[in-house]
């Protein structure tokens, strides 16, 4: 119970720092927001118009009051209005996030479907030809930048063979190629780390014991998977960041209407409230996922649970 409270407090502090950093970033951004806003709307900038705009945007108030007002708004889901079209930022972010989650979820699923069976094969047949091929794939996937992979995939599947549409619309067919581009580098990292983890499990005494009792291969695989669940979860959590970055790149290339494409469009348009919202939303999702995984890790492996409870008793 105490631990839960501590975790929640920690989470709040980190999110406060994130919000402060985001606000500071915009505050320090070169140029005058009021002027930028007017320019991005195509208004002719004069001194009077500029001052009126500044007053209206609350730019004349001191820094901390502005931060407080902004934070208060954000907590109620009010991320301000977009410079570009005066529409509220919140719904824009939400719509983008929903699409991004679709893409990210599909990619994560695909990555797991690729990497778990392959890393099992690689680990159980260490140093076989299959293992070497899988290792090579992992190395390439890990090394090649995702934008290069998606451009190559796009060339072969959309332009060369015309199997898929170039612009990913909401359809399942449109989702496949972006998801694949996003999942190749992530699978590369998964394969590497999961193979390592499974090899570690295989080298344990209990596997030798099971072999000696003649336990069937499928049960042995089951035991290995069971024992590595906590670590696999951690491996997955480590890639959430690259999933987010990747989605910005992939969404831009395939014009997937997610939050990543939204932010790139907003960067081009200098639409600061949207960029702020993006950092805040992605940061929050990232931090929350990581905290959740930490908690789950403890629940999954009874030994970790025992250790941490032991720590808690001492503390």
Partner 1 sequence: MLEIKHLSAGYEGEQTLHDINLTMQPGEILCIVGESGSGKSSLIRAITGYKGLQVTEGSICFGGQELMRGKRACANGVMGREIGLIPQNPEGSFNPIRTFEKQFREMFASHGMSMEEAQIEGAFETVGLQDYKRILKSRPYEMSGGMNQRIAIAAAMLLSPKLLICDEATSALDVTTAQLVMDELLQMRRDLGTGILMVTHNLGIAKHMADRIAIMYQGELVEIGPCQDVIDHPQHAYTKQLLESAPRMSA
Partner 2 sequence: MTKRKQLLIRIIICATVAGLIVLATMFASFLAPNDPYATSAAAIRQTPSAQYPFGTDNLGRCIFSRVLYGGRTTIGATFLLVAISFVVGTLIGMLCGYFGGIADRLLMRIADVALAFPQMVIAIAVAGILGGGIFGAMLALGITMWISFARLARSHTYSMKNQSYISAAILAGKSNWYIITRHIFPNLLAPLLTNGLTQIGVTMVGISGLSFLGIGVTPPTAEWGAMINEARAYIQLSPWAVFFPGLAIAVTIIVFNELGDLVMDYREM
Binding residues for partner 1 (CB under 8 A): 204-206, 208-217, 219, 222-223, 226-227, 301-303
User: What residues numbered 213-252 form the site for partner 2, per CB under 8 A?
Assistant: 240-242, 244-245, 248-249, 252
Q: What φ, ψ does residue 65 adopt, rounded to 5°?
A: -65, -40
Nearer residue to partner 2 within complex by CB, 34 or 224: 34
Distance of alpha carbon 246 from alpha carbon 219, whole angstroms: 36
Name the CA dihedral angle for 70, 72, 76, 81, rounded to a multiple of 10 degrees: -20
**Which partner, partner 2, partner 1, none, binds residue 249 by CB below 5 to 8 Å per kind?**
partner 2
Chosen from partner 1, partner 2, none, partner binding at 26 (C-beta under 5 to 8 Å by type):
partner 2
C-alpha R_g of the chain: 24
Residue with Cβ nearer partner 1 (101 or 202)? 202
Q: Contact between 60 and partner 2 (CB under 8 A)? A: no
C-alpha–C-alpha distance, residues 184 and 311, integer Å: 39
Backbone φ and ψ for 127, nearest 5 degrees, come out as 65, 10
Closest CA to 119 of 236, 26, 211: 236
- Under a CB-based contact definition with an 8 Å cutoff, are residues 81 and 273 in contact? yes
Kindly tell me which of 159 and 211 has the beta carbon lying closer to partner 1: 211
Closer CB to partner 2, residue 227 or residue 266? 266
What's the min distance (Å) between Cβ of 227 and partner 2?
24
* Least spacing, CB of residue 127 vs partner 1, in Å: 11
Residue position matching structure tokens 């190395």:
139
Please report the DSSP string for 71-137 in residue order: HHHHHTT---B-TTT--BHHHHHHHHHHHHHHHHHHHHHHHHHHHHHHHHHHHHTTTSHHHHHHHHH
Q: DSSP code of 156?
A: I
Query: Which H or E run contains 132?
Result: helix 129-143
Q: Taking the complex as a whole, how short is the minimal distance between the CB of residue 126 and partner 2, in angstroms? A: 16
59 vs 211, beta carbon nearer partner 2: 59
- Measure the CA–CA gap between 146 and 261, rounded to whole angstroms: 15
**Binder of partner 2 out of 199, 279, 292, 293 (CB under 8 A):** 279
Whichever of 86 and 205 has its CB closer to partner 1, that residue is 205
Interface residues toward partner 2, by CB under 8 A: 14, 17-18, 21-22, 25-26, 29-30, 139-140, 142-148, 151-152, 154-155, 159, 240-242, 244-245, 248-249, 252-253, 263-264, 267-268, 270, 272, 275, 278-279, 282-283, 286-287, 290
């Amino acid at each position: 119970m105490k631990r839960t409270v501590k975790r929640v407090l920690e989470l709040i502090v980190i999110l406060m720092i994130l919000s402060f950093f985001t606000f500071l970033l915009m505050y320090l951004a070169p140029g005058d927001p009021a002027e930028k806003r007017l320019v991005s709307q195509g208004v002719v900038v004069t001194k009077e118009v500029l001052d009126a705009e500044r007053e209206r945007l609350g730019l004349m108030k001191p820094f901390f009051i502005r931060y407080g007002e902004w934070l208060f708004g954000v907590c109620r889901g009010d991320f301000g209005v977009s410079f570009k079209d005066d529409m509220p930022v919140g719904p824009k972010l939400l719509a983008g996030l929903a699409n991004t989650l679709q893409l990210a979820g599909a990619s994560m699923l695909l990555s797991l479907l690729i990497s778990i069976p392959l890393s099992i094969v690689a680990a159980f047949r260490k140093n076989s030809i299959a293992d070497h091929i899988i290792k090579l794939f992992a190395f390439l996937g890990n090394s090649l930048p995702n934008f290069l992979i998606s451009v190559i995939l796009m060339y072969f599947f959309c332009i060369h063979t015309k199997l898929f549409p170039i612009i990913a619309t909401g359809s399942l067919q449109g989702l496949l190629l972006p998801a694949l581009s996003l999942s190749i580098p992530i699978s590369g990292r998964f394969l590497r780390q999961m193979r390592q983890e499974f090899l570690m499990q295989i080298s344990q005494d209990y596997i030798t014991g099971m072999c000696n009792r003649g336990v069937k291969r499928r049960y042995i695989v089951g035991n290995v998977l069971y024992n590595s669940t906590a670590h696999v979860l951690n491996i997955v959590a480590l890639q959430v960041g690259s999933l987010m970055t990747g989605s910005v790149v992939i969404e831009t290339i395939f014009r997937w209407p997610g939050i990543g494409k939204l932010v790139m469009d907003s960067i081009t348009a200098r639409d600061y409230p949207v960029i702020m919202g993006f950092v805040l939303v992605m940061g929050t999702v990232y931090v929350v996922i990581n905290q959740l995984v930490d908690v789950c890790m403890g629940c999954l492996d009874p030994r970790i649970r025992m250790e941490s409870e032991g720590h808690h008793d001492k503390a």
